[in-house]
Structure 1
Amino acid sequence: MNFKPLLLGACSAVVLCGIASAETLTIATVNNGDMIRMQKLTDDFTSKNPDIKLDWVTLEENVLRQRVTTDIATKGGQYDVLTIGTYEVPIWAKQGWLLPLDNLGPDYDVNDILPAIRAGLTGEDGKLYAAPFYGESSMVMYRKDLFEKAGLTMPDAPTWDFIADAARKITDKDKEIYGICLRGKAGWGENMAFLTATANAFGARWFDENWKPQFDQPEWKKTLDFYVKLMKDAGPPGASSNGFNENLALFQTGKCGMWIDATVAASFVTNPKESTVADKVGFALAPDTGLGKRGNWLWAWNLAIPAGTQKQQAAEKFIAWATGKDYLKLVAEKDGWANVPPGTRTSLYENPEYLKAAPFAKMTLDSINAADPKHPAVKPVPYVGVQFVAIPEFQGLGTAVGQQFSAALAGQTSVDQALQNAQQLTTREMTKAGYIK
């Protein structure tokens, strides 16, 4: 007689236990298009993992970096999965702030990750400390119709002089068409990503072999003069406030003749649902000045697990889902192959369906493979990193220098004064940190 209630009680307990054990993963991510798409597709993950709930914290790039860095350095434990860049991974892994990704499952295929991308995410112990959601270099995106109208032909491998000349020729400020859109918003991963990569092509470098800052050298003067003058002549108004997302919006609405930025933007500017110029876009390698280095960077947005989490197993399941081969197929089914997150897997660039759908695929892969983080500059340097310097101090330094250069672009200070300030603040910080004796 007592069996029924007992059984019901046991079942209820099981159900309650199931609810109680459902884990919530808090995921910090950036407000880029590919990440927003991932959030929309997570029903696929939760239907396969009903015991895991997802809580998203979506932030603008500079804010994300600040919050995540503060949280991990203070062992705050706010997040279970972090979206971090190629810059942070080796530094944070060395500090013991990240957990190695040892259990991504038998079907994950780590060896399929592009060697250039994977190398930046591997610790000194040979373990993977983050999985790439998308990888990128940078390249020229341009309006073929405007070039044709001006009688110009874009080379596959243009020089900066050609780009500057073309930008001025295709500018029509009365029609709100600006020859070129480039990052101006201050931030080590915003304007300084673009300007550091560009400076490499001009023969500049952040530091000499003894860690002495180089902003007082003629190569940086040439770089910044060129950039500020070009943006004044052919850039949009308020350019010092524009980062990746702002320039993307300008290009998609037909207001930019050229945009030099992340290769990942290619699928957004050629998507007819999002871009008014989708059928008019061409691609070329990032420009050079004939010194042997192009201004193209190397980056990946990656998912990593902070050492402070109590939910490692669930976090690894999520990362395996979001960065695995099946996720690429899921995006292809929902939004077409052209919109699959690029730059992470060799197999994607061997997939005929992707190559047919993505006219930018070859240029993206060529740009990624052309970047050389171990030899980023024309002259020798003591650091690794193309558009960043892989030392912990760079985050603060890059943003502080970026503020000086953004002020020069806005006309609030001169190029000479911005460089002088950059030299002083960088020398002070590098001396304080013990790099300069």
Structure 2
Amino acid sequence: MKMTIRSLMGACALTALAAPVMAETLTIATVNNGDMIRMQKMTAPFTEANPDIELEWVTLEENILRERVTTDIATNGGQYDVLTIGTYEVPIWAKQEWLVPLNDLPAEYDTDDLLPPVRQALSVDDTLYAVPFYAESAMVMYRTDLAEAAGVTISESPTWTEIKAAAEAMTDKSKEQYGICLRGKPGWGENMAFLTAMANSYGARWFDPEWKPQFDSAEWNATLTDYLDMMTNYGPPGASSNGFNENLSLFQQGKCGIWIDATVAASFVTDPTSSTVAENVGFAQFPNKEGVDNHGNWLWAWSLAIPASSDAPDAAKKFVAWATSKDYTAQVAEAEGWRAAPPGTRTSLYENADYQAAAPFAAMTLTAIEGANTQKSSVQDIPYTGGQFVAIPEFQGIGTAVGQQFSAALAGQMSAADALTAAQANTTREMARAGYPK
């Protein structure tokens, strides 16, 4: 945090100086997605109500954000006053006493209004350590017009066989029309978020109860083989570099028949000011493999937290409470319509008739979030928690390394079998180094 002085001098300045007003500058690290960028443009009510607080933004691509804030908080660097982090980091960092507890927010904030799965994910021992800006699970978004033209139907609760058949039918590469777009950019929160959820829906798991990696299993082989098959035959070129933002752009431009990703994307693909296909988007649950009772629902919340190293915690609390409040949601709705309201955080939003009418994806989003089981994400026995990630500190490194192997397979640099073999060997080695089982 930096300090600036606004010196106020009156007519008698030659004889005395008025007391200086100290303006605290909050440095906020955030991710470069649409909701966060919108928030930066809408801070006038906060700064007008708090003239003694100035905001400085550090807006970064997802992988870079994670790397920088993790390094800063682990070294007690104090570079940031507010962090944008997710459900993976919050419980781990809270237990390390790296985050300021948020159990003293004002009564009007109404923490009881937060959706129970989201509040639980951001709490340790019933103490809230971050507040959700928006929350998400994952679901299918698809072009209803292309599906109709291709003569295929995507049910409300589809299987992967159904998705693959629809992707094939919708593909016309001569028109740059690709049947399916899925994450390929390497990273524990990029391609591995999707592939872990997909693996869960295939009945796979990262580790058995003794913490032995499971990439040599039939379930992981089926997951990666089917993923590569769909993306190679029906996906866009260069998919190994595509993450959330790249696939969002492709879908909005009308180049994807099916996109399976975060529920938060729904408001952007149905926005007629930025999406060319806004009037032709349907929604369905995240698919499952036939015979596996698991839709792979993930749970994530981009949330605002205050590092213990901040020297402006009180000012930071004012900001995070404002940015995740009901009032901010109403401000967005007034400026851009209820469809654009940050989703997935508050019960009151999903009880709001105006939101239900404006957001055709609202019910499916709520179903996906409430269906996420982060305590047991696989149908098999597991020693960890987490939906699209494994909630251990080592997962950032391990997940990214595996993501690089799988991204290389998507780029045609190795086979699925070789990628799985490398993932098994690398993960086994790193888990041994970390002392698992503990």
- Taking structure 1 as the reference length, the TM-score comes to 0.96
Q: In structure 2, how many angstroms separate the alpha carbons of the residues matched to 1:205 and 1:6?
A: 73
1:349 partner letter = Y
Aligned to 1:168: 168
Aligned to 1:118: 119
TM alignment of 1:404-419, pairs within 5 A: 404-419=405-420
Q: Residue 104 of structure 1 contacts residue 319 of structure 1 at CA under 8 Å; is this kept in 2?
A: no
Deviations for 1:146-196, whole angstroms, at most 9, x for unmatched residues?
A: 011011122100000000011001100000000000000000000000000
Deviations for 1:189-212, whole angstroms, at most 9, x for unmatched residues?
A: 000000000000111100000100
Residues 1:5 and 1:418: Cα distance change in structure 2 (over 3 Å) = closer
2:274 partner letter = E
- The CA deviation at 1:62 is 0.2
- The CA deviation at 1:106 is 2.0
Q: Residue 130 of structure 2 contacts residue 305 of structure 2 at CA under 8 Å; is this kept in 1?
A: yes
Aligned to 2:255: 255
Q: Residue 153 of structure 2 contacts residue 166 of structure 2 at CA under 8 Å; is this kept in 1?
A: no
- The CA deviation at 1:110 is 0.3
1:197 partner letter = A
Q: In structure 1, how many angstroms separate the alpha carbons of the residues matched to 2:241 and 2:13?
A: 62
Q: Residue 103 of structure 1 contacts residue 316 of structure 1 at CA under 8 Å; is this kept in 2?
A: no
Secondary structure at the counterpart of residue 387 of structure 1:
coil
Q: In structure 1, how many angstroms separate the alpha carbons of the residues matched to 2:382 and 2:227?
A: 23
Q: In structure 2, how many angstroms separate the alpha carbons of the residues matched to 1:95 and 1:233?
A: 46
1:351 partner letter = N
> Unaligned stretches of 5+ in structure 2?
1-8
- The CA deviation at 1:104 is 2.1
Q: In structure 2, how many angstroms separate the alpha carbons of the residues matched to 1:103 and 1:22?
A: 23
Residues 1:5 and 1:324: Cα distance change in structure 2 (over 3 Å) = closer
Deviations for 1:318-360, whole angstroms, at most 9, x for unmatched residues?
A: 0000001000000001110000000000000000000000000
Q: In structure 2, how many angstroms separate the alpha carbons of the residues matched to 1:380 and 1:113?
A: 30
Q: Does 1:30 align with 2:31?
A: yes
TM alignment of 1:88-237, pairs within 5 A: 88-124=89-125, 126-237=126-237
Q: In structure 2, how many angstroms separate the alpha carbons of the residues matched to 1:355 and 1:9?
A: 62
The percent of aligned pairs where both chains have the same amino acid is: 66
> CA-atom RMSD, angstroms?
1.4
- The CA deviation at 1:375 is 1.1
Q: Does 1:314 align with 2:319?
A: no
Task: Give runs of ≥4 in structure 1 deviating > 6 Å.
Answer: 4-7
> Unaligned stretches of 5+ in structure 1?
none
2:219 partner letter = E
Aligned to 1:240: 240
TM alignment of 1:80-91, pairs within 5 A: 80-91=81-92
1:137 partner letter = S
1:149 partner letter = A
Q: Does 1:13 align with 2:18?
A: yes
Q: Residue 296 of structure 2 contacts residue 377 of structure 2 at CA under 8 Å; is this kept in 1?
A: no
Q: In structure 1, how many angstroms separate the alpha carbons of the residues matched to 2:318 and 2:48?
A: 13
Q: In structure 2, how many angstroms separate the alpha carbons of the residues matched to 1:412 and 1:339?
A: 40
Aligned to 1:389: 390
- The CA deviation at 1:7 is 6.2
Aligned to 1:353: 354
Q: Residue 298 of structure 1 contacts residue 368 of structure 1 at CA under 8 Å; is this kept in 2?
A: yes
Aligned to 2:293: 292
Residues 1:134 and 1:10: Cα distance change in structure 2 (over 3 Å) = farther
Aligned to 1:403: 404
Aligned to 2:4: none
Q: In structure 2, how many angstroms separate the alpha carbons of the residues matched to 1:72 and 1:24?
A: 18
Q: In structure 2, how many angstroms separate the alpha carbons of the residues matched to 1:363 and 1:102?
A: 31
Q: Residue 159 of structure 2 contacts residue 287 of structure 2 at CA under 8 Å; is this kept in 1?
A: yes
Residues 1:204 and 1:6: Cα distance change in structure 2 (over 3 Å) = same
Deviations for 1:117-147, whole angstroms, at most 9, x for unmatched residues?
A: 11110013x2100000000000000000001
Q: Residue 299 of structure 2 contacts residue 369 of structure 2 at CA under 8 Å; is this kept in 1?
A: yes
Secondary structure at the counterpart of residue 109 of structure 2:
coil
Q: In structure 1, how many angstroms separate the alpha carbons of the residues matched to 2:83 and 2:155?
A: 39
- The CA deviation at 1:6 is 9.4
Deviations for 1:19-45, whole angstroms, at most 9, x for unmatched residues?
A: xx1000000000010000000001111
Deviations for 1:279-327, whole angstroms, at most 9, x for unmatched residues?
A: 0001000000131001321100000000001000000000000001000
- The CA deviation at 1:11 is 7.9
Secondary structure at the counterpart of residue 179 of structure 1:
strand
- Taking structure 2 as the reference length, the TM-score comes to 0.96
Count of residue pairs brought into register by the alignment: 429
Secondary structure at the counterpart of residue 180 of structure 1:
strand
Q: Residue 240 of structure 1 contacts residue 409 of structure 1 at CA under 8 Å; is this kept in 2?
A: yes
Secondary structure at the counterpart of residue 219 of structure 1:
helix
Q: Residue 76 of structure 2 contacts residue 309 of structure 2 at CA under 8 Å; is this kept in 1?
A: yes
Q: Does 1:43 align with 2:49?
A: no
Q: Does 1:57 align with 2:58?
A: yes
Secondary structure at the counterpart of residue 107 of structure 2:
coil
Aligned to 2:6: none
